[in-house]
Amino acid sequence: MESTELLRRTPLYAAHLECGAKMVPFGGWEMPVQYSGILEEHAAVRERVGLFDISHMGELLVAGPNAERALNELFTNDVSKLAVGQAQYTLMCNQQGGIVDDLIFYRLEPSVYLVIVNAANIETDFVWMNTNATVSAVIENLSDRYAGLALQGPAASQLFEFSASLPHFHIQRQDVFGTECWVARTGYTGEDGFELFCEAVDSPRLWKMLLDRGRRLGIKPCGLGARDTLRLEMCYPLHGNDITDETTPLEAGLGRFVSFEKKLFVGQDVLVNQKEHGVDRKLVAFRMTKKSPPPRPHYPILADGRKIGEITSGTQSPTLGVGIGMGYIESAEVAVGKAIEIEVRQRRYPAVLEKKPILKRGQ
Amino acid sequence: MNIPKNLKYTKSHEWVRVEGNTAVVGITDHAQNELTDVVYVEVPTVGARIEAGKECAVVESVKAASDIYAPVSGDVAAVNEELSNTPELLNQDPYGKGWMFTITMSDPGELGELLSPDDYAHHIGA
C-alpha cells in the first residue's frame, strides 16, 4: 500500500476533484481512476471523445550533436529513421535484454528529441540514459515543468482546425485555444487522438477549455481505469505488468520495434541470440469464451490441465463484454485459436488465445 | 449516502434485512459506490453453511475483486440469480433488486453484533 503522504500530484489535481474524480495511487502519483465510471468513460473514448491527464508521465529532452547516436545506443528501434516532426515507439533495454522502459519519442528538431517515459520510471530512465550512452548528449528532465493531456476518440479531430495537417504519429507546435503546446497525434487507446504537452501552469486552463469545446461532441474526463481497459483491448503493453526489466521485447512480441541492422545498442547480444534461437515464453492475448469472473494479474493459465503460464494484465472488456487479458505462456503452446483455461479461485474457466489486438477494428 | 433505517449493517459494508428467521443480505450504497461498476458477482451455493465474519461471496468491478463476508451464520436459503446476467443491479439498486442471498439463521443472537444505521453512518464517516 502506497502512503498518500508521499504521493505526487499533477497540476490538474484540483481540476480532477472539481470533475468528481476518485483518486488512487499510481506509480507514485495520486491520479484519477475514474469520474463518472470506467464503463461510461471507456465508451466515450470508443464512440466520441475522452480527455485524460497524463501529466504523471515524464518528459525528457535529449539534445546536442550526438543526440541521435546516444539514443540509438539506448533504444532498440532505429532512431535514424525518424524525420523531424515524427514519432517512434521504442524500447530501452538492459544488458540482459530486459525492458527498462517502453516509450514514445519525437524528433522536434534535427538534434532535439522529446522522450515521453512512464511515470514510475522517470528517475530510473534519466539515470539509465545518462550512464549508458557512450557519447554525450544533453539530457534534461522537464517532467515537473510540463503537463500532458490526452484527447482520444473518433471525434477528437473535430476539435482542432490543424487536425488535417497533423498526420498520425507526428508532432507539431500549436496554439491550442490560447495555450502553446506540443501536439502529437499519438495515444494509448487505439483511437485517433492527440497528446498535448504544455507548461504545467497553463494546463488547468487547457483542461477546462478542452472540456468546454468538446461538450457538443459528448466529451468526458477519463481516468486511469478506462485508460487501462482501452489499452488492454488493443494489447498495448503496460510497463511493470506485461513488460518488465526481466522480460525481453522478443518475448513480449515487440520484435518489430527492435532494429537488428543498426549499430550496437544496449541488450543487442541477447536479442540477436533470441531472434536466432527463439524464446522460451511469449506474451499472448486471450479472451474468455464463457461468462467468468474478470481475469486478473497472476491468475494461472492452463492448457490440457497443466499450468503453462500466468496472466500479466486482465479485465472485463467493456467493448466486448467478456474477460480479456495477456500473459506469458510456454512458446510451444502458442497458437491463435488454441483453447486454454484460466484459473480463478480454484475454478477453471474456458478461454481462447487471440490474435492481437483483441479488439478487431472495422467489425 | 443512502443508509435505510430498517436494516442492520456490518463494518465490512454488508446490510441485513431480518424477515423472521431469515436474513436477506446485500452490500451497502457506500460499498457499491466505492467498488464502482460491478461486472461480476459470485454468490454462495444454496444449502451451503456459512459462518458469520467469513468470506462467502465475491463482487468484482472492472478494477478489483472484493470479498463479501457473512453477517450472520446459517444455511444459504436463496440466492439472487438475476445478478449472474445483470450484476449492475448492485450499483443501481443495492438495497432492492441488488440483494445477494438469504440465510436461514442458526443463531439469531448474532444480529445483536451488527451495527445500527447510525453506527454504520458513523463508521463510514457519513
Asked if residue A182 belongs to a domain, the reply is yes
Residues A52 and A66 in one domain: no
Number of domain units in chain A? 3
Residues A157 and A20 in one domain: yes
CB pairs under 8 A between A and B: 37
Give per-residue pLDDT as tens, B6-51: 999 999 999 999 999 999 999 999 999 999 999 999 999 999 999 9
Q: Which CATH architecture has domain B8-107?
A: Beta Barrel (2.40)
Q: Is the predicted pLDDT of residue B1 greater than 90, yes or no? A: no
pLDDT of A4: 54
Residues A167 and A182 in one domain: yes
pLDDT of A1: 45
Residues A49 and A100 in one domain: no
Asked if residue A44 belongs to a domain, the reply is yes
Residue contact B62–A345, C-beta within 8 A: no
Out of A119, A141, A163, a domain closes at A141
The rounded percent of chain B whose pLDDT value lies above 90 is: 98
In degrees and rounded to multiples of 5, residue A270 shows phi and psi of -65, -45
Asked if residue A256 belongs to a domain, the reply is no
Residue contact B37–A345, C-beta within 8 A: no
Residues A126 and A173 in one domain: no
Asked if residue A151 belongs to a domain, the reply is yes
Question: Which domain does A92 fall in, by range?
Answer: 58-141
- In chain B, what residues touch A291 (CB-CB under 8 Å)? 84
Tell me the C-alpha distance between A268 and A303, whole Å: 33
Closest approach of B90 to chain A, Cα-based (Å): 14
* Rounded mean pLDDT, A131-136: 93
Residues A88 and A137 in one domain: yes
The rounded percent of chain A whose pLDDT value lies above 70 is: 98
Out of A207, A233, A259, a domain closes at A233
CA distances for A174 relative to A8, A75, A161, A234, B66, angstroms: 28, 28, 11, 29, 46
pLDDT of A118: 97
Which helix (H) or strand (E) segment is A46 a member of?
helix A38-47
Tell me the C-alpha distance between A279 and B48, whole Å: 47
Walk across the sheet containing B74-79 and list its strands: B8-9, B14-19, B22-27, B101-105, B74-79, B49-50
Residues A51 and A88 in one domain: no
What is the residue-averaged pLDDT of chain A?
96
Residue contact A225–B65, C-beta within 8 A: no
The answer to whether A309 and A327 are in contact (CB under 8 A) is yes
pLDDT range class, residue A243, cuts 50, 70, 90: very high
- CATH number for position A288: 2.40.30.110
pTM of the predicted structure, to 2 decimals: 0.95
Cell of B25: 443480505
* Rounded mean pLDDT, B116-120: 97
Give the least confident one: A177-181, B62-66, B69-73: B62-66
pLDDT range class, residue A73, cuts 50, 70, 90: very high
- CATH number for position A100: 3.30.70.1400
Domain boundaries, chain B: 8-107
Out of A141, A165, A192, a domain closes at A141
Give per-residue pLDDT as tens, A253-275: 999 999 999 989 999 999 999 99
Asked if residue A346 belongs to a domain, the reply is yes
Residue contact A293–B84, C-beta within 8 A: no
Q: Which of B36, B60, B84 sits opposite A294 (nearest CB)?
A: B60
Residues A47 and A157 in one domain: yes
Tell me the C-alpha distance between A194 and A334, whole Å: 35
